[in-house]
Amino acid sequence: MKLRNWSLEDLESLVKYANNPNIAVNLTNGFPHPYTEEVGRGFIKMAMKGTPKNILAITVDNEAIGGIGLHLQDDISCKNAEIGYWLAEPFWGKGIMTKAIVKIVEYGFQNWDINRIYARPFGTNIGSQRALEKAGFTLEARFEQTLFKDGIYYDELVYAIRK
C-alpha cells in the first residue's frame, strides 16, 4: 500500500471502486452514488491542485483503490485538520486503511502547522472506528442522532490524534 498524488490515469479505477453504495452510505453527500466519470474527473482535477497535495490516492500495485485527505480548518480551528477517506470494498479488512491513516497523519504533521487531526465517522461504521483506533486516534465525543442521510439519523463520533 502506498499513498501518491491522483492523476487522470486513475479515472477508470476511481469510478470502478467509488461507484458502490456500500461506500457512499458511510460518507457525506459530497461523495455521490452513483459515482460517474464526470464526478471522478472533477474530483481528480480538484485533488491535483495545491502544494503540498492534501488529497492522495491509496494504491496497491499502483492501482488507485481509495482516497485519503486532510482538510485544513481555519479561523480559531486553524491548528486542526479533518481527515477523510474511503477504500474499495474488495480491500476492506486487510489493514490497508489503518496503514494509510498512519501515513497521512505523519505527512500532515510534517507539512502543515497543525497539532490535531480529527475524524468524524458515523456511529454505524465500525470498520472506520477500528482503523482509527489502530492508527492511534482516541474517541473524544459521541453526538447522538446528529447526522442525517437518506432519511436516517446517525450518531456522529469524533476521533482525534495530536502531534
Q: Give 19's contacts (C-beta < 8 A, 6+ positions apart).
A: 33, 34, 35, 36
According to DSSP, residue 122 is labeled B
Helix intervals (H) in the chain: 11-18, 21-24, 37-47, 96-111, 126-134
What's the pLDDT tens digit per position in 80-117?
999 999 999 999 999 999 999 999 999 999 999 999 99
Rounded to two decimals, what is the model's pTM? 0.96
Domain parsing of the chain, residue ranges: 2-115
* Residue 21 Ramachandran class (φ > 0 left, ψ -120 to 50 alpha, else beta): alpha
CATH topology classification for 2-115? Aminopeptidase (3.40.630)
What's the pLDDT tens digit per position in 110-160?
999 999 999 999 999 999 999 999 999 999 999 999 999 999 999 999 999
